[in-house]
């Protein structure tokens, strides 16, 4: 098991991406801290984790991540119940579509509050509770950003601003805490079939093919939490690139995906531009290769 005995907290874990990551971490043996504002959703996730039967401890604390007092209480309680935290995934997020000339000012503010301040509050409240005493096993702070950082979408000005802002925040934190045993990385997913993107239609089986399932992201988080990623820091991970890499791995003849040395030549032949943009994260590709054996 990849995360046996580790304590991982995922904000926004009542549904969508956060829920799937929580289940994936529990399947890998981690104890899980679940948090969002909706108790009922968190209770359901807890039940699903318990059904896995990994023996993972699951603790729920509700709260609004855009309020510092709530966030502080979430992390104090989780630390008391679980012990020092090995990884925190700042995933809770919020979005609304609308023309900028009529967009409700208060909504604009709320989006920035959840998506930027919420991530800062999460870091601030989590810092005293992170296990930061082991250079070989650094604490992980992972943020769910967005592909809008790469490809801007009209009618999402507040969301886009917030997701650009959080890239700056992660980069600033990585620089500031460079000498501490903690890594900061950000995953930038393109569209995912969740309530944030598709409202109540999420999960109805009628999504377009280019829209990912929330569980398609699990490996990104699992990798960053794993021992293999101990030295991965200050990275922006574009799912658009790695979803292509995954497809190429799945289609490759068995003898071309034995290991990175062999696969890298194959990948370069298939798509040199993609190869050049992903080769720095060779460790992640090795992780993907290994999991497909
Ligand atoms: N879906 C996509 O296409 C997509 C693409 C790129 C990035 N993302 C990012 O992925 C992350 C997860 O979103 P999702 O797509 O999984 O959406 P989702 O299904 O709507 O889940 C969002 C989660 O965040 C929680 N949350 C929202 N506001 C909160 C607050 N103020 N305090 C505490 N928790 C809060 C929600 O719970 P409560 O409402 O119960 O609090 C829920 O658990 C977000 O950061 C989003 O920006 C999504």
pLDDT digits (tens, 9 = 90+) for 74-133: 999 999 999 999 999 999 999 999 999 999 999 999 999 999 999 999 999 999 999 999
Ligand 1 atom 5: residue of nearest CA:
191
Is the CB of 93 inside a 6 Å radius of any atom of ligand 1? yes
Instruction: Give the per-residue pLDDT at 130.
Output: 98
Q: Which atom of ligand 1 is nearest to the CA of 66?
A: 31
- Based on the residue annotation, tell me whether 220 is a catalytic residue of this protein: no
Q: Which structure tokens are listed for 30?
A: 């981690």
**For residue 123, what pLDDT is reported?**
98
**Site of tokens 């293999």:** 228
Ligand 1 neighbourhood includes 162 CB (under 6 angstroms): no
DSSP-assigned letter for residue 28: T
Q: Whose CA is nearest to atom 36 of ligand 1?
A: 12
Read off the pLDDT band of 72 (50, 70, 90): very high
- What number of residues does the chain have? 293
CB 10 within 8 A of CB 89: yes
Mean pLDDT over the full length of the chain: 98
- What is the structure's pLDDT at 145? 98
d(CA 18, CA 16): 6
The 10 Å Cβ neighbour count of residue 5 is 12
Q: How sure is the predictor about 214, in pLDDT bands with cuts at 50, 70 and 90?
A: very high
Q: What percent of the chain has pLDDT over 90?
A: 99
Going along the chain from its start, the domains and CATH numbers come out as 7-233 (3.40.50.720), 240-293 (no CATH)
Q: What is the mean pLDDT of residues 197-215?
A: 97
Q: Strand pairing of 7-11 and 31-35?
A: parallel
């Amino acid at each position: 098991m990849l995360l046996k005995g580790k304590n991982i907290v995922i904000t926004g874990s009542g549904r969508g991406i956060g829920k799937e990551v929580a289940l994936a971490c529990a399947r890998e043996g981690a104890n899980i801290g679940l948090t969002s504002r909706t108790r009922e959703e968190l209770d359901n996730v807890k039940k699903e984790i318990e059904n896995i039967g990994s023996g993972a401890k699951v603790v729920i604390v509700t709260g609004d991540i855009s309020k510092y007092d709530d966030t502080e209480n979430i992390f104090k309680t989780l630390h008391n119940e679980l012990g020092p935290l090995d990884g925190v995934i700042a995933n809770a997020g919020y979005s609304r579509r609308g023309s900028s000339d009529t967009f409700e000012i208060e909504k604009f503010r709320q989006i920035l509050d959840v998506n930027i301040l919420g991530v800062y509050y999460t870091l601030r409240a989590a810092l005293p509770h992170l296990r930061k005493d082991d250079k070989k096993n650094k604490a992980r702070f992972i943020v769910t950003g967005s592909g809008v950082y790469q490809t801007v979408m009209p009618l999402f000005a507040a969301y886009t601003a917030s997701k650009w802002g959080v890239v700056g925040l992660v980069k600033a934190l990585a620089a500031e805490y460079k000498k501490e045993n903690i890594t900061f990385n950000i995953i930038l997913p393109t569209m995912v079939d969740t309530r944030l993107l598709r409202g109540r239609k999420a999960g109805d089986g009628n999504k377009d093919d280019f829209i990912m399932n929330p569980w398609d992201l699990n490996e990104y988080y699992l990798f960053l939490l794993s021992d293999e990623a101990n030295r991965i820091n200050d990275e922006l991970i574009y799912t658009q690139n790695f979803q292509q890499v995954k497809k190429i791995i799945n289609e490759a003849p068995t003898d071309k995906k034995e290991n990175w040395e062999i696969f890298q030549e194959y990948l370069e032949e298939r798509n040199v531009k993609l190869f050049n943009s992903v080769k720095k994260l060779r460790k992640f590709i090795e992780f993907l290769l290994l999991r497909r054996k």
